[in-house]
């Protein structure tokens, strides 16, 4: 019998489709390995700094000059930005419709100078540098009053929408709080008003007690497959300490995050035949500039990362309903990943 499960935050239903069940080993057979297209020019490689817009930030430990080789992590504006940094919003109506200028920031975090290394191959130190860069860029963009939300996300592999192979993350600052983010905020607020507790803190406690959906845990973070997983092997990384903002993590938490993120990516990539994936940071909006609007958010929202392997393709049903059909129960996915040993 298929099972319908409800995500307690968003209220989204998911069908755990036991009739069309896929076990972890089935995914290796339908494997669409992510690999490099050889011989293509790479604008993210050292030596090609002039092929990107001038850098916004870089970690350089050898005293090298901006926009020259020697960097360890480098941040540049997207050459083909979805949103542009210069200008005003200029909101207006067009007949029955509404529009505004596409103002925002669209940055690319080039995670390594090494063209061949992907995030799952990074040393602990390199992963800490990358996360530190996310944190600094997020804090910096919060100073621009036009932006309401900073979205950090990674597209790995073609199925996940990546167009360049060289390992990178994107950061988009938007002039409106995105719809999906608002839904999540509304869900956490609703729960808080009823229970006076953070729903994510409650989920963490419930999951630790059950254990069956835990993939990994360290002193500051837990990695689990959520109860109402939309996708096979969907993973959430949650900080054990309640905090609404990713960019408020401490030095110690950054080390723990690098540890657990590296570990779960290795497990996904090795265990499932190098699948495409997206990860998305879910963090509170830039409310410091809009006080009053977000009354209880410090208490009710809990930042986290959602990792979505792209092993199945959503069809018309998913698009039309917002209902997802997931052929792999999250308990089996968790067990498989938990038991998998990686170096």
Q: Which of residues 64-103 bind a second copy (CB under 8 A)?
A: 80-84, 87, 94-102
| Strands (DSSP E) found in 1-91 | 3-6, 13-16, 57-60, 71-77
Of residues 46 and 102, the one with the C-beta less far from a second copy: 102
Stated as kind and residue range, the H or E segment containing 92 is strand 92-94
Rg (C-alpha) for the chain, rounded Å, is 20
CA distances to 50, 153, 231, 268 from 280, in Å: 29, 4, 14, 16
2 counts as binding a second copy under rule CB under 8 A: yes
Of residues 33 and 65, the one with the C-beta less far from a second copy: 33
List the one residue from 52, 133, 155, 328 that touches a second copy (CB under 8 A). 155
Stated as kind and residue range, the H or E segment containing 316 is helix 316-321
313 counts as binding a second copy under rule CB under 8 A: yes
161 counts as binding a second copy under rule CB under 8 A: yes
List the one residue from 127, 203, 263, 311 that touches a second copy (CB under 8 A). 203
List the one residue from 58, 76, 214, 325 that touches a second copy (CB under 8 A). 325
Of residues 101 and 248, the one with the C-beta less far from a second copy: 101
CB of 178 to a second copy, least distance (A): 3
CA distance 254 to 131: 7
Query: What string marks each residue from 229 to 268 as x (binds a second copy by CB under 8 A) or -?
Result: ----------------------------------------
Helix axes 124-141, 251-271, angle to 10 degrees: 120
Binding-site size for a second copy (CB under 8 A) equals 77
List the one residue from 132, 190, 192, 323 that touches a second copy (CB under 8 A). 323
CA distance 204 to 254: 19
Applying the rule CB under 8 A, the residues between 276 and 305 that interact with a second copy are 278-280, 282
CB of 40 to a second copy, least distance (A): 15
CB of 329 to a second copy, least distance (A): 12
Of residues 51 and 219, the one with the C-beta less far from a second copy: 51
Of residues 71 and 159, the one with the C-beta less far from a second copy: 159
Tokens of 306: 């959602």
CA distance 33 to 310: 11
Please identify which residue in the block is written with the tokens 């929202």: 301
CA distance 173 to 181: 13
CA distance 250 to 200: 20
Applying the rule CB under 8 A, the residues between 122 and 141 that interact with a second copy are none
CB of 258 to a second copy, least distance (A): 19
CA distance 162 to 164: 6
Applying the rule CB under 8 A, the residues between 100 and 119 that interact with a second copy are 100-102
CB of 341 to a second copy, least distance (A): 28
Cβ proximity of 227 and 213 under 8 Å? yes
Cβ proximity of 102 and 82 under 8 Å? yes
Query: What string marks each residue from 18 to 57 as x (binds a second copy by CB under 8 A) or -?
Result: xxx-------------------------------------
Tokens of 244: 């609404």
């Amino acid at each position: 019998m298929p099972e319908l499960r409800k995500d307690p935050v968003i209220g989204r239903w998911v069908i755990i489709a036991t009739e069309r069940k896929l076990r972890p080993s089935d995914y290796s057979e339908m494997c669409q390995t992510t690999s490099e297209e050889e011989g293509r020019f790479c604008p993210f490689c050292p030596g090609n700094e002039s092929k990107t817009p001038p850098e916004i930030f870089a970690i350089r430990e050898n005293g090298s000059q901006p926009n020259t080789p020697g960097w360890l992590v480098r941040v540049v504006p997207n050459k083909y930005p979805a949103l542009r940094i210069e200008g005003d919003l200029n909101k207006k109506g067009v007949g029955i419709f509404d529009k505004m200028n596409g103002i925002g920031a669209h940055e690319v975090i080039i995670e390594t100078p090494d063209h061949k290394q992907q995030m799952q191959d990074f040393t602990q130190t390199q992963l800490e540098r990358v996360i530190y860069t996310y944190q600094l860029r997020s804090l910096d963009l919060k100073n621009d009053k036009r932006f309401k939300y900073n979205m950090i996300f990674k597209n790995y592999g073609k199925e996940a929408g990546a167009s360049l192979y060289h390992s990178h993350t994107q950061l988009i600052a938007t002039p409106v709080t995105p719809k999906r983010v608002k839904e999540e905020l509304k869900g956490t607020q609703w729960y808080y008003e009823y229970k006076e507790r953070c729903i994510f803190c409650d989920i963490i406690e419930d999951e630790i007690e059950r254990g069956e959906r835990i993939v990994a845990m360290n002193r500051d973070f837990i990695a689990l497959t959520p109860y109402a997983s939309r996708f096979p092997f969907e993973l959430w990384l949650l900080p054990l300490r309640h905090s609404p903002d990713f960019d408020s993590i401490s030095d110690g938490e950054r080390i723990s995050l690098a540890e657990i993120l590296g570990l779960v990516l290795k497990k996904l990539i090795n265990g499932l035949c190098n699948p495409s994936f997206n990860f998305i940071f879910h963090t509170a909006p830039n409310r410091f500039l809009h006080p009053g609007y977000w009354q209880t958010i410090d208490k009710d929202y809990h930042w986290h990362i959602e990792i979505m392997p792209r092993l199945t393709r959503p069809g018309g049903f998913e698009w039309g309903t917002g209902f997802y059909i997931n052929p792999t129960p999250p308990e089996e996915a968790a067990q498989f990943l938990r038991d998998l040993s990686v170096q």
